[in-house]
A and B are shown apart, each in its own frame.
Chain A
């Protein structure tokens, strides 16, 4: 491939499509191959993830049936040899749902404010603030969850434990908020101005224009932003490991202590579990479940993004 790539200018970018640019030095070819190698690293990363997860998980599923893994309602690998992932999945989805309740409405309303209402000076203040919020490490949010949020939750709901899904949900909600805002805002701003002007010309108020014209026009992109945020919330680790607890529970009560898939992986990794044991392999089985879930949401999000592109580009 190196010859064709280096000799011919690609896809008309240089306006000299099809014309040969002769390599003057053999080094040119070497560089082309090296750059190709760099891009290959990203493909190999994905391949590596799949191979590592599937290889070890396959060993795990030799001893535990996939059916038991997917439908078992108890997760107690160390004490009782029970390998049902449902409690971990339930904990993950509970935290995700709580985070969604916070991040999605607040995020969308903020995006609408920034895109439709805010003056450019307000935007210049708010956007960097959100960037800073997005840049704060997960473990810092986890600290905040235990030291500040959890006592607050327990004051309001005395039945809640020190570790509860609610305080994890709250911090994860604010962690993914900047992502929802910035992705949704981009997509709202991409809605052509003519659509808004047409609605105003028909006597619509700003509320009508926003809710009945702009948001529906951008809905695919907003859904994509939401899905990416949910995927982030599912993969969120340190904050959840600190705040939600370490007891796998099949519950929908946000005040209960739960364990998410990510928190379980952290728990096992911290203990000195010898390689090759069944407990060690649970990391890979749970990791595979986590990878598949987030990948599904990401691919779905990309499908929605592709729909937006078709519409306006």
Chain B
């Protein structure tokens, strides 16, 4: 009897030890992701900071790494994200409002919903091929900022729609009922009650989408649009363009280590813009999120 009791305790101790070991393993796995992020940022700052200066921001691509800069790429990227935001926000929020506030539960609605989920999983380079076939060739927009922005709009649209849908869903029904009870129409309810309440969430999603557009190189390269030999500042949406991530790709793919330093410095600029965008998102969520209490 005591023998059995002893065995049981030893067994349960072993089980407790194994359980402990497993929790350590899980912790180690989690730390790895955090460590990689630290390594990545440290490596880029170490390689890039010495090369980050005013010349980098004001020069054009060059055969000599010490003279190369991102002026054209940075301005192009700002053009691209501005136009992408202008196109994707109304269409994305409109589609979300349609799905959440207008469409009845039907096969059509589940089809649209399924389609959006699928589009979110389509590789961005495939959108680039669509952009090549549709915007560059069929609509003859050539290799313009406009064609690039329209392509990026299609890439980020699912992100905007899904984020906007989630924020709309979070608005309590009592708000809508109160509005209808006061005699407001469907659109008056959406425009004056539901959308303002959902704005912080929608803004967060939009900024996430813009960050994605800012970092995307694949669709622009596949369109054959973004060029790394642009030595002028693009001034209108029909100009040819470059893009920051495409320029980084070009430099990183060269064998000379000096170009790798320029690439790292450009990455510092890219990440800084992304951090600014995301800080805005956090601020918006905090600033406007506070006012709403249900």
Contact = CB atoms under 8 A, between A and B. Distances in A.
A5 B216 CA distance: 38
Interface string B215-235: 111100111100000000000
B205 interface: no
Interface in B82-119: 90-95, 97-99, 102-105, 111-112, 114-119
Given A34-B94, A53-B129, A142 B134 contact: no
Contacts of B15: 205, 207-208
Contacts of B186: 6, 21, 23, 28, 32
Interface string B142-168: 000000000000100110010000000
Given A48-B134, A52-B130, A137-B270, A242 B121 contact: no
Given A6-B102, A290-B126, A302-B117, 13 more contacts: A4-B104, A5-B104, A13-B176, A35-B95, A38-B98, A42-B161, A114-B30, A143-B260, A174-B36, A206-B19, A237-B124, A266-B222, A287-B126
Q: Which 6 A-B pairs give the minimum distances between C-beta atoms?
A: A235-B123, A137-B215, A38-B94, A52-B133, A109-B29, A113-B26
Q: Determine which residue in A6, A45, A297 has the highest number of CB atoms from chain B within 10 A of its CB, and name it.
A: A45
Contacts of A138: 215-218, 245
B222 A269 contact: yes
A235 to B, nearest CB: 3
A129 interface: yes
Interface of B: 15-16, 18-19, 22-23, 25-30, 32-34, 36-37, 39-40, 43-44, 47, 90-95, 97-99, 102-105, 111-112, 114-119, 121-130, 132-134, 137, 154, 157-158, 161, 173, 176-177, 180, 185-187, 208, 211-212, 214-218, 221-224, 245-246, 248-249, 252-253, 260, 263-264, 267, 270-271, 274, 278
Contact of A295 (B118, B212, B248): B118
B114 A302 contact: yes
A169 interface: no
A210 interface: yes
Interface in A112-127: 112-114, 116-118, 126
Contacts of A205: 15-16, 18-19
B116 to A, nearest CB: 5
A15 interface: yes
B185 A23 contact: yes
B185 A42 contact: no
Contacts of A37: 94
A52 B134 contact: yes
B1 to A, nearest CB: 19
B115 to A, nearest CB: 6
Interface string A284-297: 10010011001101
Contacts of B105: 10-11
6 contacts: A126-B30, A137-B270, A147-B260, A205-B15, A205-B18, A206-B19
A177 B208 CA distance: 18
Contact of B173 (A13, A110, A136, A181): A13
A130 B221 CA distance: 27
A242 B93 CA distance: 36
Given A205-B18, A266-B218, A298-B121, A45 B154 contact: yes
Nearest to A35: B98
A14 B100 CA distance: 12
A27 B121 CA distance: 36
A139 B245 contact: yes
B26 A109 contact: yes
Interface in A28-43: 28, 31-32, 34-39, 41-43
A137 B18 CA distance: 39
B30 A142 contact: no
A181 B36 CA distance: 15
A159 interface: no
A113 B29 contact: yes
A299 B119 CA distance: 11
Contact of A147 (B43, B218, B271, B274): B43
Contact of B274 (A135, A144, A208, A275): A135
A237 B27 CA distance: 31
Contacts of A8: 104
A132 B29 contact: no
A213 interface: no
A70 interface: no
Contact of B23 (A10, A56, A206): A206
Interface string A136-160: 1111111110111000000000000
A265 to B, nearest CB: 6
Contacts of A135: 208, 211-212, 215, 274, 278
Given A205-B18, A290-B123, A143 B263 contact: yes
In this complex, the member of B16, B116, B217, B271 whose beta carbon has the largest number of chain A beta carbons within 10 angstroms is B217
B47 A147 contact: yes
B33 A178 contact: yes
B129 A298 contact: no
B126 A31 contact: no
Contact of A143 (B27, B127, B222, B252): B252
